Amino acid sequence: MAAILQRQLPHAPPTGRLPGIAPLRPEDWLQWDDAFGGQMQLRDTLLSSRRADVLRLDEAARPAAEELLETVLNVVSGRADYRLAGQDVVRPDGVAVRIRPEDPLATLGRLVQEDFCILQKPENATEHVLTGAVLCFPAGWTLSEKFMRPLAAIHGPVAEYDENLAPRVQRLFDAIRPQQPLWRTNWLIYENPDLFAPRLENDPRPATSGRGGYIRSERQCLVRLPGTGAVVFSIHTFMVRRSVGNDG
């Protein structure tokens, strides 16, 4: 399959220490770009042919997933390039998506370019847990391995996620408020432009010379849902040729 690429990145490489979080205006949460058609076609295919690999939902998280779907539907219904047609929403690429409240994450995965992870803090727990996700574009991790695990365990293979960073991230999750979302970005060199790039924790990292021809960047947002109180971690994936960067 041909590489699905954006023409340029909308943001510069991140600077400063992790987690590198900044405030985000609620209206700037979701984004659309020139790779919409290609990314959405791939998302449709993955959700149809590899659903177990890209979607997980604990029943206790169903109310949060339903609230998230309603929230995103409110956003797209206000855009001129989406059209409501009975029980369907017609996307900017002309594809009609049936709105299935009984299958909220699959519906979400076909509406916008973002992947969505739902994190909730069980009663008496000290960390948020990944209780649901539609993750079509994993970058070096596997949803089945992270599902129902707390933040520290999810980030176990990440060397930078140490005893100093982990409490800071958890405090961030505890403090985030509805209508006051946050965002950060990352920026990595890849030799392969595949968007669906899962990898198990114990699998060796692919050898790389650091001179790969692509930049993969994720725009990661944190949003608290006002009804259920769940934290949504959304990921908008950008892949561009390294010669392009953010210079267009």
At residue 65, the pLDDT reads: 98
> For the whole prediction, is pTM greater than 0.85?
yes
CA distance 39 to 44: 9
Are 199 and 141 in contact by the 8 Å Cβ rule? The answer is yes
Q: Position 235: which residue type? A: I
**Alpha helix stretches (DSSP H) within the chain:** 36-49, 51-54, 62-77, 104-109, 143-146, 151-154, 165-175
Provide the residue-wise pLDDT of the chain in tens; the chain has 248 residues. Answer: 689 999 999 987 776 655 578 999 999 999 999 999 999 999 999 999 999 999 999 999 999 999 999 999 999 999 999 999 999 999 999 999 999 999 999 999 999 999 999 999 999 999 999 999 999 999 999 999 999 999 988 876 554 555 667 788 889 999 999 999 999 999 999 999 999 999 998 787 665 556 789 999 999 999 999 999 999 999 999 999 998 765 44
